[in-house]
Amino acid sequence: MAAPVEILSRLLWIRDAAALPDKALADQLGLEPRDLAAIIQAHPDRFPETLVFHLTAEERQRIPDAPVLAFTEAGAALLTGLVPGHEPALLTLLPAFAEARHVITAQAELSLRVAALEQKLDMVLKLIQGEEVEGAPKERHIGFVTEEDLPKGLKTQQHGEKKR
């Protein structure tokens, strides 16, 4: 059975999707990458570009040992009925692929959250140092507030209490 860590180490993030290079998938199935390419060529209507990527020259330059094809989880699942004798290997690979995809997506979400917190912290530090910051909350005065300065919902609530 394919381990999620093994799949995770070979997973690529291409075109906003987690994808497994053809060589990595072929290795898991005991096939050659050209065998997978032949299956894709034999059934082009079954494998849309959103599920099996034909990497562009630019994408291949950025990836070491650049594959020709990259399979999303759904693209790998579509191989199930087309690779005779390798169904069990594919069926054990798919849960590992799903778990690895989950890990990589969680890392991306965590990275976004950390970046947002860093921006907020940077704003707070600048405010503490007395610098002007775009988007910072307006200064509120402590003490008496005129009725015009009250928030809209609070004004109506107070008027209702006066009428009672």
Residue pair 105/18 in contact by the 8 Å Cβ criterion: yes
In a domain, 29, yes or no: yes
What's the whole-number mean pLDDT along residues 28-42?
88
In a domain, 96, yes or no: yes
In a domain, 123, yes or no: no
Percent of the chain with pLDDT strictly greater than 90: 7
In a domain, 112, yes or no: no
Query: 114: pLDDT confidence band, cut at 50, 70 and 90?
Result: very high
In a domain, 149, yes or no: no
In a domain, 145, yes or no: no
Scan for tokens 């579509």, then name that residue: 78
Taking the C-alpha atoms of residue 105 and residue 24, their distance in angstroms, rounded to an integer, is: 20
Full residue range of the structural domain in which residue 19 is found: 4-106
Query: 161: pLDDT confidence band, cut at 50, 70 and 90?
Result: low
In a domain, 94, yes or no: yes
Residue pair 72/19 in contact by the 8 Å Cβ criterion: yes
**Position 95 pLDDT exceeds 60:** yes
When divided into structural domains, the chain yields a total of: 1
Beta strand 52-54 with 17-21 is: unpaired
In a domain, 157, yes or no: no
Least confident segment among 59-68, 69-78, 112-121: 59-68
Q: Of 30, 6, 7, whose CA–CA distance to 20 is shortest?
A: 7
Q: Residue 59 is which amino acid?
A: E
Scan for tokens 């994408």, then name that residue: 59
pTM (2 d.p.): 0.59
Query: 115: pLDDT confidence band, cut at 50, 70 and 90?
Result: very high
